[in-house]
């Protein structure tokens, strides 16, 4: 098994982040530091990541969290800021976040120790739909909402078609629902910046057919087997 997949299956992090750890010289096999990601793990190999020995995970775990604003989507933070893993119960086994929500974005986030599950939901070619509630100051004109729907240039990348619906508006602000199936860094914020209406509040409320529901901020619930399977099916859908 390729080393990055082995690290992911041990519940350390995703495959892509495992490649980064290897490039940083933080992975050792049988006492030898790896610098290339192509190594295949063999029976009897002893693998260390960042000084800690790892072993294959027996039980796969899948959680849905309501991430609050002000919390980092990471396992640890070298600046001492609170992370999503700090919010887990003390008895919870080791998991890592699937993808990310930025510091000022709240809402639905998955955590797991299953690297293949994380890979399926985050790889660009899988394009799982994600729905956000967006609040902006002022009222966005119809022609600019049409631009958001048809695709906007967010800096060297033109977004695909999006579903954009106005939920409420008044003289001072507008609340919209936006569904995308891409995952560029800060994509929603960059889309609204492109039409001149920076986001004031942003919450992710659905991924695939899994809704945030009544999970309280900072709390988690276990995903059911059916929910995990539905997310993997969504990841196999082609647009």
Domain count, the chain: 3
Q: Are residues 120 and 219 in the same domain?
A: yes
Tell me the catalytic residues. 102
For residue 212, give the 3-state DSSP assignment. Answer: coil
Spatial separation of the C-alpha atoms in residues 60 and 11, rounded to whole Å: 9
Same domain for 34 and 151, yes or no, is: no
Question: Contact 128/231 with Cβ under 8 angstroms?
Answer: yes
- State how far the Cα of 158 lies from the Cα of 154, in Å rounded to an integer: 6
Quick one: 147 and 194 in the same domain? yes
Residues 96 and 203 in one domain: no
Composition of the chain by helix, strand, coil, percent to 5: 25, 30, 45
pTM of the model: 0.79
CATH number for the domain harbouring residue 219: 3.30.70.580
CATH code at position 15: 3.10.290.10
189 with 139, same domain: the answer is: yes
Q: Are residues 50 and 19 both part of a single domain? A: yes
pLDDT band at 57 (very low <50, low <70, confident <90, very high): low
Query: Is residue 17 located within the same domain as residue 38?
Result: yes
User: Where is pLDDT greater, at 52 or 226?
Assistant: 226
pLDDT > 90? residue 13: no
What is d(CA 177, CA 132) in angstroms, rounded to the nearest whole number?
A: 6
Residue 174, token pair as written in the block:
């507008």
Among 37, 54, 71, the domain boundary falls at 54
Closest by CA position to 136, among listed 69, 202, 199, 205: 199
146 with 115, same domain: the answer is no
Q: At what angle do helices 15-23 and 115-122 cross, to 10 degrees?
A: 100
| Spatial CA neighbour of 55 closest among 3, 9, 2, 95 | 9
> Is 60 exceeded by the pLDDT of residue 238?
no
pLDDT band, very low/low/confident/very high, at 52 (cuts 50, 70, 90): confident
* Structural domain of 94: 62-125+212-235
Residue 193 belongs to a domain with what CATH number? 3.30.70.1560
pLDDT of residue 90: 75
- State the DSSP code for 87: G
Same domain, 42 and 85: no
CA distance 76 to 82: 8
218 and 106 in one domain? Answer: yes
Is the same domain home to 167 and 192?
yes
């Amino acid at each position: 098994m390729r080393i990055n997949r082995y690290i992911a299956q041990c519940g350390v992090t995703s495959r892509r982040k495992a490649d980064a750890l290897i490039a940083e010289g933080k992975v050792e096999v049988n006492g030898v530091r790896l610098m290339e990601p192509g190594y295949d793990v063999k029976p009897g190999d002893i693998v260390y990541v960042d000084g800690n020995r790892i072993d294959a995970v027996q039980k796969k775990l899948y959680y849905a969290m309501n991430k609050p604003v002000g919390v980092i989507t990471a396992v640890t933070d070298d600046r001492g800021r609170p992370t999503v893993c700090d919010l887990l119960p003390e008895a919870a086994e080791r998991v890592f976040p699937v993808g990310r929500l930025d510091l000022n974005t709240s809402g639905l986030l998955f955590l797991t120790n299953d690297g293949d599950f994380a890979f399926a939901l985050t790889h660009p070619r899988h394009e799982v739909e994600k729905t956000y509630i967006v609040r902006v100051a002022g009222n966005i004109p119809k022609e600019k909402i049409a631009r958001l729907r048809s695709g906007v240039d967010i800096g060297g990348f033109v977004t695909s078609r999006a579903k954009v619906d106005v939920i409420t508006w008044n003289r001072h602000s507008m609340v919209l629902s936006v569904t995308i199936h891409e995952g560029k860094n800060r994509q929603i914020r960059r889309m609204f910046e492109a039409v001149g209406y920076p986001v004031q509040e942003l919450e992710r409320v659905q991924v695939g057919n899994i809704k945030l529901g009544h999970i309280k901020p900072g709390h988690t619930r276990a995903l059911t087997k059916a929910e995990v399977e539905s997310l993997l099916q969504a990841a196999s859908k082609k647009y």
